[in-house]
Amino acid sequence: MKAIVRKDDYGKDIAVEQVPIPSVAKGQVLVKVMATPCNPSDIEYLTGIYGFPDKRPKPPTISGLEGSGVVEAVGEGVSKELVGKKVGIFCETYNFEAYHGNWAQYTVKREQDIYVLKDQSMSFEDSCYLFVNPMSVMAMWHIIEEDKHTGVIHTAASSSLGRSLFKLCKKIKIPVINVVRREEHVKKYAEMGAEYTLN
């Protein structure tokens, strides 16, 4: 299979290479990857400034934190009913024995690192974004809730994460000051019903 391989510790040596399709072990699933994004966190991970650089798997390794695809095979202890299902896939960055990135034609995952799409008609392009930004927004929401904040200033409002955070805060009636860097984003937020947007 083809994969984007990180060949050094700092993301300076990256190449598309032919590598073996990973074998599936007990408790794992093999997924044929159909779509995978490139998040800012992916770039930071490649360059060694995201997560725990000293504990990352040693090169060569395959990066890519999230994606979507179809289950091709399952290991012992995993239901065979998963085969053929469309799934969202996440890369466990803090359990490096289980690490296998998604910038490849196939990836192997622990069963708990996939999400079977409730709507199997959802496109691969839409379902490949189900983890990084949504989970980041939920983490921010927990901080807002636990610390009883009454408002949010968001300096990355131009991003898809920023738009998701704004939508959540709007729904739960927490005011947000959206900081953007282009006038077109000010107009976009106005269309979304934003009360406060700074360029």
Cα 12–134–171 angle (5° rounding)?
A: 145
Residue 92: predicted pLDDT: 67
User: By three-state DSSP, how is residue 119 classified?
Assistant: coil
pLDDT (tens digit per residue) in 10-28: 778 889 999 999 999 999 9
pTM: 0.80
Residue 17 bridge partners (DSSP) = 3
pLDDT (tens digit per residue) in 135-194: 889 999 999 999 999 999 999 899 888 999 999 999 999 999 999 999 999 999 999 999
Taking the CB of residue 197, how many other CB atoms lie within 10 A of it? 19
Which residues, other chains included, contact 43 with Cβ-Cβ below 8 Å and sequence gap of 6+? 11
Cα–Cα distance for residue pair 21/37, rounded to 1 Å: 20
Residue 108 bridge partners (DSSP) = 30
Band (pLDDT 50/70/90 cuts) for residue 47 is confident
Residue 177 bridge partners (DSSP) = 153, 196
What is the token pair recorded at 4? 């984007």
Cα–Cα distance for residue pair 16/177, rounded to 1 Å: 41
Cα–Cα distance for residue pair 119/125, rounded to 1 Å: 14
